[in-house]
Amino acid sequence: VGLGAGVLVVLAMTFLGRRIDRSRDAQRLLTLPAVDYHQDGDGTAAKRLVRGLLNGVGSGELLVCPVGVDAEQDALRFVDWSREQDADTPSERVRLVPEPTATVIGARPGPGETAGLVLVVPRGTSRQLLADSTALLATWRPVDAVVVVS
């Protein structure tokens, strides 16, 4: 009985502990830039990330994709917040796209049409979902950064 209980504890810790709780977890998992975004905070790191992508190589839209259907509200709030941050940037340059499966089915952006692709991940998302979404989107356009929303 003791050995069986020990095995169950180890399995539970293994599967329950694999969550994204902060940007550092996403950054280590994907080796991509990741920032935390708190809806109540000032969002300095997220603001720098958005500005850097919009002013970077591409002159097109910054695409914001939720990691899954459950993350669409967080992604929409992040898009609205991003549009309000810089008065010099037209709001149409930041656009919400559907979750990864629906996005990949859609038309592939042409060269220069996108400034970047940001994946929005709510705190507590499983690492497997984040890894799968990133891999799926890579067939359409590689993810440039991750925003962990709390």
pLDDT digits (tens, 9 = 90+) for 38-78: 977 778 899 999 989 988 766 789 999 999 988 999 999 99
83 pLDDT higher than 70:
yes
| pLDDT category of residue 106 using cuts at 50, 70 and 90 | confident
**What DSSP assignment string belongs to the chain?**
-HHHHHHHHHHHHHHHT-EE-SHHHHHHHH-S-EEEE-TTS--HHHHHHHHHHHTSS--SEEEEEESSGGGHHHHHHHHHHHHHH-TTS-GGGEEE---HHHHHHSPPPPTTSEEEEEEEEETTEEHHHHHHHHHHHHTTS---EEEEE-
| pLDDT category of residue 85 using cuts at 50, 70 and 90 | confident
